[in-house]
Protein backbone atom coordinates (compact mmCIF):
# COMPACT_ATOMS: atom_id res chain seq x y z
CA UNK A 1 0.00 0.00 0.00
CA UNK A 2 1.19 3.48 -0.90
CA UNK A 3 0.24 6.25 1.46
CA UNK A 4 0.72 9.95 0.86
CA UNK A 5 0.23 12.06 3.98
CA UNK A 6 0.15 15.86 4.11
CA UNK A 7 2.67 16.07 1.28
CA UNK A 8 3.71 19.46 -0.06
CA UNK A 9 6.52 20.42 -2.40
CA UNK A 10 8.13 23.82 -2.44
CA UNK A 11 10.92 24.20 -5.00
CA UNK A 12 14.11 26.08 -4.20
CA UNK A 13 12.72 29.25 -5.80
CA UNK A 14 10.01 29.12 -3.09
CA UNK A 15 7.34 28.07 -5.59
CA UNK A 16 4.80 25.67 -4.09
CA UNK A 17 4.12 23.07 -6.79
CA UNK A 18 2.05 20.80 -4.54
CA UNK A 19 0.08 21.63 -1.41
CA UNK A 20 -1.01 19.22 1.25
CA UNK A 21 -1.74 16.04 -0.68
CA UNK A 22 -3.38 13.09 1.03
CA UNK A 23 -4.06 9.77 -0.72
CA UNK A 24 -3.98 6.07 0.01
CA UNK A 25 -3.49 3.76 -2.95
CA UNK A 26 -3.95 0.00 -2.78
CA UNK A 27 -4.16 -1.25 -6.34
CA UNK A 28 -5.48 -0.66 -9.83
CA UNK A 29 -4.98 2.15 -12.28
CA UNK A 30 -4.98 5.69 -10.93
CA UNK A 31 -5.21 8.42 -13.56
CA UNK A 32 -3.62 11.78 -12.77
CA UNK A 33 -5.36 14.50 -14.72
CA UNK A 34 -4.46 18.15 -14.64
CA UNK A 35 -3.37 21.01 -16.85
CA UNK A 36 0.26 21.88 -17.61
CA UNK A 37 1.94 22.84 -14.35
CA UNK A 38 -0.72 21.22 -12.14
CA UNK A 39 1.97 19.26 -10.28
CA UNK A 40 1.55 15.78 -11.76
CA UNK A 41 5.25 15.19 -12.48
CA UNK A 42 6.18 16.74 -9.13
CA UNK A 43 4.01 14.19 -7.34
CA UNK A 44 5.27 11.29 -9.45
CA UNK A 45 8.92 12.21 -8.92
CA UNK A 46 8.40 12.18 -5.17
CA UNK A 47 6.72 8.77 -5.28
CA UNK A 48 9.61 7.50 -7.43
CA UNK A 49 12.04 8.89 -4.78
CA UNK A 50 13.89 11.14 -7.23
CA UNK A 51 12.63 14.21 -5.37
CA UNK A 52 11.81 14.79 -1.69
CA UNK A 53 8.68 16.33 -0.21
CA UNK A 54 9.16 19.64 1.61
CA UNK A 55 6.53 18.50 4.08
CA UNK A 56 4.72 15.27 4.81
CA UNK A 57 5.56 11.60 4.29
CA UNK A 58 5.10 8.97 1.60
CA UNK A 59 5.13 5.39 2.82
CA UNK A 60 5.26 2.10 0.92
CA UNK A 61 4.09 -0.83 3.02
CA UNK A 62 4.60 1.29 6.10
CA UNK A 63 8.19 2.43 5.29
CA UNK A 64 8.95 6.12 4.79
CA UNK A 65 10.33 5.94 1.24
CA UNK A 66 12.49 9.02 1.68
CA UNK A 67 14.21 7.50 4.72
CA UNK A 68 14.47 3.99 3.35
CA UNK A 69 13.52 3.65 -0.29
CA UNK A 70 15.08 0.25 -1.04
CA UNK A 71 11.84 -1.75 -0.94
CA UNK A 72 9.96 0.80 -3.02
CA UNK A 73 12.73 1.02 -5.63
CA UNK A 74 12.82 -2.75 -5.87
CA UNK A 75 9.09 -2.76 -6.56
CA UNK A 76 9.07 0.29 -8.84
CA UNK A 77 8.87 0.81 -12.59
CA UNK A 78 9.14 4.46 -13.64
CA UNK A 79 8.81 6.23 -16.94
CA UNK A 80 9.74 9.89 -16.37
CA UNK A 81 8.15 12.58 -18.52
CA UNK A 82 11.42 13.41 -20.23
CA UNK A 83 13.03 10.10 -20.85
CA UNK A 84 16.50 10.04 -22.35
CA UNK A 85 17.85 7.07 -24.23
CA UNK A 86 21.32 6.15 -25.44
CA UNK A 87 21.06 6.67 -29.20
CA UNK A 88 23.81 4.23 -30.18
CA UNK A 89 22.28 1.24 -28.42
CA UNK A 90 19.72 -1.01 -30.02
CA UNK A 91 16.46 -1.67 -28.18
CA UNK A 92 17.73 -5.04 -26.98
CA UNK A 93 21.06 -3.60 -25.84
CA UNK A 94 19.35 -0.73 -24.03
CA UNK A 95 16.90 -3.00 -22.23
CA UNK A 96 19.75 -5.34 -21.21
CA UNK A 97 21.63 -2.34 -19.89
CA UNK A 98 18.62 -1.16 -17.87
CA UNK A 99 18.04 -4.70 -16.57
CA UNK A 100 21.65 -4.82 -15.35
CA UNK A 101 21.24 -1.43 -13.62
CA UNK A 102 18.10 -2.73 -11.93
CA UNK A 103 20.09 -5.75 -10.72
CA UNK A 104 17.85 -8.28 -12.48
CA UNK A 105 18.88 -11.87 -13.08
CA UNK A 106 20.13 -11.66 -16.69
CA UNK A 107 18.83 -15.05 -17.74
CA UNK A 108 15.29 -14.14 -16.68
CA UNK A 109 15.74 -10.61 -18.01
CA UNK A 110 16.50 -11.87 -21.54
CA UNK A 111 13.16 -13.67 -21.70
CA UNK A 112 11.41 -10.64 -20.27
CA UNK A 113 13.07 -8.36 -22.84
CA UNK A 114 11.85 -10.56 -25.71
CA UNK A 115 8.38 -10.57 -24.20
CA UNK A 116 8.31 -6.78 -23.82
CA UNK A 117 9.68 -6.11 -27.30
CA UNK A 118 6.88 -8.23 -28.61
CA UNK A 119 4.23 -6.64 -26.37
CA UNK A 120 5.24 -3.14 -27.45
CA UNK A 121 5.39 -4.01 -31.15
CA UNK A 122 9.08 -3.31 -31.47
CA UNK A 123 10.16 -6.67 -32.91
CA UNK A 124 11.00 -5.29 -36.35
CA UNK A 125 13.17 -2.56 -34.86
CA UNK A 126 14.68 -4.51 -31.95
CA UNK A 127 18.18 -4.55 -33.40
CA UNK A 128 18.24 -1.04 -34.78
CA UNK A 129 19.84 1.90 -32.93
CA UNK A 130 17.33 3.76 -30.81
CA UNK A 131 18.72 7.03 -32.15
CA UNK A 132 16.95 6.28 -35.44
CA UNK A 133 13.58 5.51 -33.83
CA UNK A 134 10.53 7.72 -34.21
CA UNK A 135 9.30 9.58 -31.10
CA UNK A 136 6.53 7.06 -30.52
CA UNK A 137 8.91 4.10 -30.81
CA UNK A 138 11.25 5.72 -28.29
CA UNK A 139 8.32 6.21 -25.95
CA UNK A 140 7.50 2.51 -26.24
CA UNK A 141 11.08 1.64 -25.26
CA UNK A 142 10.55 3.85 -22.23
CA UNK A 143 7.42 1.92 -21.33
CA UNK A 144 9.28 -1.38 -21.84
CA UNK A 145 12.11 -0.41 -19.47
CA UNK A 146 9.57 0.56 -16.80
CA UNK A 147 8.08 -2.93 -17.01
CA UNK A 148 11.36 -4.89 -16.95
CA UNK A 149 11.16 -5.90 -13.30
CA UNK A 150 7.43 -6.67 -13.41
CA UNK A 151 6.90 -3.79 -10.95
CA UNK A 152 4.32 -3.78 -8.16
CA UNK A 153 4.08 -0.06 -8.53
CA UNK A 154 4.29 1.42 -12.00
CA UNK A 155 4.55 5.18 -12.48
CA UNK A 156 4.20 6.40 -16.04
CA UNK A 157 4.34 10.12 -16.69
CA UNK A 158 2.50 10.94 -19.93
CA UNK A 159 3.19 7.53 -21.43
CA UNK A 160 1.04 8.04 -24.52
CA UNK A 161 2.70 11.23 -25.73
CA UNK A 162 3.75 10.74 -29.34
CA UNK A 163 1.90 7.45 -29.75
CA UNK A 164 -0.34 7.06 -32.78
CA UNK A 165 -3.99 6.01 -32.19
CA UNK A 166 -3.23 2.31 -32.69
CA UNK A 167 -0.33 2.37 -30.30
CA UNK A 168 -2.40 4.35 -27.78
CA UNK A 169 -5.01 1.64 -27.92
CA UNK A 170 -2.32 -1.04 -27.52
CA UNK A 171 -0.96 0.82 -24.54
CA UNK A 172 -4.42 1.05 -22.92
CA UNK A 173 -4.91 -2.67 -23.45
CA UNK A 174 -1.48 -3.39 -22.01
CA UNK A 175 -2.27 -1.34 -18.91
CA UNK A 176 -5.63 -3.09 -18.53
CA UNK A 177 -3.95 -6.48 -18.76
CA UNK A 178 -1.46 -5.52 -16.04
CA UNK A 179 -3.66 -3.77 -13.60
CA UNK A 180 -4.94 -6.56 -11.36
CA UNK A 181 -2.18 -6.87 -8.79
CA UNK A 182 -0.38 -3.58 -9.22
CA UNK A 183 -0.64 0.08 -8.45
CA UNK A 184 -0.38 1.92 -11.76
CA UNK A 185 -0.13 5.69 -11.62
CA UNK A 186 -0.55 7.27 -15.01
CA UNK A 187 -0.56 10.95 -15.86
CA UNK A 188 -2.01 12.32 -19.04
CA UNK A 189 -3.79 15.23 -20.68
CA UNK A 190 -5.64 12.83 -22.91
CA UNK A 191 -8.78 12.09 -20.96
CA UNK A 192 -9.65 9.05 -23.06
CA UNK A 193 -6.40 7.39 -21.94
CA UNK A 194 -7.82 6.97 -18.46
CA UNK A 195 -11.55 7.02 -19.12
CA UNK A 196 -11.85 3.29 -19.60
CA UNK A 197 -8.95 1.92 -17.59
CA UNK A 198 -8.58 4.07 -14.48
CA UNK A 199 -10.41 2.91 -11.38
CA UNK A 200 -9.74 6.21 -9.72
CA UNK A 201 -9.02 9.67 -10.97
CA UNK A 202 -6.82 12.21 -9.26
CA UNK A 203 -7.83 15.59 -10.57
CA UNK A 204 -5.28 18.29 -9.84
CA UNK A 205 -5.19 22.01 -10.45
CA UNK A 206 -2.35 24.41 -9.59
CA UNK A 207 -0.80 22.06 -7.07
CA UNK A 208 -4.04 21.26 -5.29
CA UNK A 209 -5.90 17.99 -5.14
CA UNK A 210 -9.38 18.69 -6.45
CA UNK A 211 -10.65 15.18 -6.10
CA UNK A 212 -9.47 11.64 -5.66
CA UNK A 213 -12.47 9.61 -6.55
CA UNK A 214 -13.98 7.00 -8.80
CA UNK A 215 -14.68 7.87 -12.38
CA UNK A 216 -18.45 7.52 -11.78
CA UNK A 217 -18.40 9.84 -8.77
CA UNK A 218 -16.80 12.52 -10.88
CA UNK A 219 -19.42 12.06 -13.60
CA UNK A 220 -22.26 12.04 -11.07
CA UNK A 221 -21.05 15.34 -9.66
CA UNK A 222 -21.88 16.96 -13.03
CA UNK A 223 -25.14 15.15 -13.68
CA UNK A 224 -27.71 17.67 -14.99
CA UNK A 225 -25.09 20.37 -15.53
CA UNK A 226 -23.91 19.56 -19.05
CA UNK A 227 -25.77 21.14 -21.94
CA UNK A 228 -25.66 21.51 -25.66
CA UNK A 229 -27.10 24.61 -27.26
CA UNK A 230 -27.19 26.20 -30.68
CA UNK A 231 -26.08 29.79 -30.90
CA UNK A 232 -25.44 32.46 -33.51
CA UNK A 233 -22.00 34.11 -33.66
CA UNK A 234 -22.86 36.93 -31.23
CA UNK A 235 -24.74 34.70 -28.77
CA UNK A 236 -21.76 32.38 -28.81
CA UNK A 237 -19.43 35.13 -27.53
CA UNK A 238 -21.92 35.82 -24.75
CA UNK A 239 -22.09 32.15 -23.78
CA UNK A 240 -18.29 31.84 -23.82
CA UNK A 241 -18.00 34.87 -21.53
CA UNK A 242 -20.60 33.68 -19.07
CA UNK A 243 -20.12 29.93 -18.96
CA UNK A 244 -17.60 27.16 -18.99
CA UNK A 245 -17.69 25.81 -22.54
CA UNK A 246 -16.37 22.68 -24.18
CA UNK A 247 -16.43 21.71 -27.84
CA UNK A 248 -17.84 24.19 -30.31
CA UNK A 249 -18.83 22.84 -33.71
CA UNK A 250 -20.09 24.76 -36.72
CA UNK A 251 -23.21 23.23 -38.29
CA UNK A 252 -25.78 24.51 -40.78
CA UNK A 253 -28.16 25.53 -37.99
CA UNK A 254 -25.46 27.56 -36.17
CA UNK A 255 -22.69 27.00 -33.67
CA UNK A 256 -23.30 23.93 -31.50
CA UNK A 257 -21.68 24.52 -28.15
CA UNK A 258 -21.21 22.29 -25.12
CA UNK A 259 -21.75 24.17 -21.86
CA UNK A 260 -21.20 23.16 -18.25
CA UNK A 261 -23.52 25.09 -16.03
CA UNK A 262 -25.94 24.57 -13.17
CA UNK A 263 -28.44 26.86 -14.90
CA UNK A 264 -29.86 26.36 -18.36
CA UNK A 265 -27.56 28.49 -20.52
CA UNK A 266 -30.00 29.14 -23.40
CA UNK A 267 -33.66 28.51 -24.13
CA UNK A 268 -32.78 25.86 -26.75
CA UNK A 269 -30.26 24.09 -24.46
CA UNK A 270 -30.66 20.35 -23.97
CA UNK A 271 -29.07 18.26 -21.23
CA UNK A 272 -26.28 15.81 -22.11
CA UNK A 273 -24.65 12.98 -20.22
CA UNK A 274 -21.45 14.24 -18.58
CA UNK A 275 -18.14 12.82 -19.75
CA UNK A 276 -14.79 12.76 -18.00
CA UNK A 277 -13.66 15.50 -20.36
CA UNK A 278 -16.50 17.72 -19.09
CA UNK A 279 -15.34 17.07 -15.53
CA UNK A 280 -11.76 17.90 -16.46
CA UNK A 281 -12.78 21.14 -18.16
CA UNK A 282 -15.10 22.14 -15.35
CA UNK A 283 -12.83 21.41 -12.41
CA UNK A 284 -9.70 22.88 -13.98
CA UNK A 285 -11.43 25.96 -15.32
CA UNK A 286 -10.56 29.33 -13.86
CA UNK A 287 -14.25 30.25 -14.20
CA UNK A 288 -15.37 27.54 -11.81
CA UNK A 289 -17.46 28.92 -9.00
CA UNK A 290 -18.76 31.82 -11.04
CA UNK A 291 -21.64 29.81 -12.42
CA UNK A 292 -21.74 26.70 -10.31
CA UNK A 293 -21.37 26.80 -6.54
Ligand X SMILES: Nc1ncnc2c1ncn2[C@@H]1O[C@H](COP(=O)(O)OP(=O)(O)OP(=O)(O)O)[C@@H](O)[C@H]1O
Q: Which residues bind ligand X (CB under 6 A)?
A: 11, 13, 15, 17, 34, 36-42, 81
Q: Note whether 99 and 106 are within 8 A (CB).
A: yes
Judged by beta carbon distances under 5 to 8 A according to partner kind, the member of ligand X, Mg ion, none in contact with residue 276 is none
Q: Which residue's CB is nearer to ligand X, number 9 or number 168?
A: 9
Residue 82: CB minimum distance to Mg ion, A? 9
Choose between 36 and 252: whose C-beta lies nearer to ligand X: 36
What does 39 interact with, of Mg ion, ligand X, none (CB < 5 to 8 A by kind)?
A: ligand X
Task: Count CB atoms within 10 A of the CB of residue 213.
Answer: 15
**Measured from the CB of residue 32, what is the shortest distance to ligand X in angstroms?**
8
Q: How far is the CB of 42 from ligand X (least distance, A)?
A: 3
- Spatial separation of the C-alpha atoms in residues 53 and 56, rounded to whole Å: 6
Contact call for residues 170 and 159 (beta carbons, < 8 A): no
Residue number with CB closer to ligand X (34 or 77): 34
| CB atoms closer than 10 angstroms to residue 214 | 13
DSSP secondary structure, 156-207, as one string: EESTTTT--HHHHHHHHHHHHHHGGGSEEEEEES-HHHHHTT-SEEEEEETT
CA gap 99, 102 in Å, rounded: 5
d(CA 134, CA 162): 9
Q: Of Mg ion, ligand X, none, which one does residue 11 interact with (CB within 5 to 8 Å by kind)?
A: ligand X
Please report, as ranges, the residues that interact with Mg ion according to CB under 5 A: 40-41, 81
| Nearest C-alpha neighbor of 213 from the set 198, 223, 225 | 198
**Nearest distance in Å: CB 13, ligand X:** 5
Partner touching 159 among ligand X, Mg ion, none, CB below 5 to 8 Å by kind: none
Rounded to whole angstroms, what are the CA distances from 272 to 102, 229, 244?
49, 10, 15
- Closest to ligand X by CB, 81 vs 221, is 81
Short-list 210, 232, 219, CA closest to 260 = 219
Residue 86 binds: one of Mg ion, ligand X, none (C-beta under 5 to 8 A by kind): none
CB of 91 to ligand X, least distance (A): 26
| Partner whose footprint covers residue 82, from Mg ion, ligand X, none (CB < 5 to 8 Å by kind) | none
Min CB(202)–ligand X separation in Å: 11
C-beta of 14 vs 267, nearer to ligand X: 14
| Distant-in-sequence, close-in-space partners of 111: CB < 8 Å, separation ≥ 6 | none
Q: Which does 245 bind (CB under 5 to 8 A by kind): Mg ion, ligand X, none?
A: none
Nearer to ligand X, 15 or 111 (CB): 15
How distant, in Å, are the alpha carbons of 232, 259, 279 from that of 270? Answer: 16, 10, 18
Smallest distance from ligand X to CB 155, Å: 12
CB-nearer residue toward Mg ion: 40 or 96: 40
Amino acid sequence: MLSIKNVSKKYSNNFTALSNFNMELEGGVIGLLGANGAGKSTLMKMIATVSKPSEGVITWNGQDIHKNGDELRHDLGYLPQSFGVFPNLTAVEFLKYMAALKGLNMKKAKNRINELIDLLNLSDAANRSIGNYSGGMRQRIGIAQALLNDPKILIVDEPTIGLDPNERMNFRNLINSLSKDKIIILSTHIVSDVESSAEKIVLMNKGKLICFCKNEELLNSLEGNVWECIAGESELEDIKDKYITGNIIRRNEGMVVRVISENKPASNAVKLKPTLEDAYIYYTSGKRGENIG
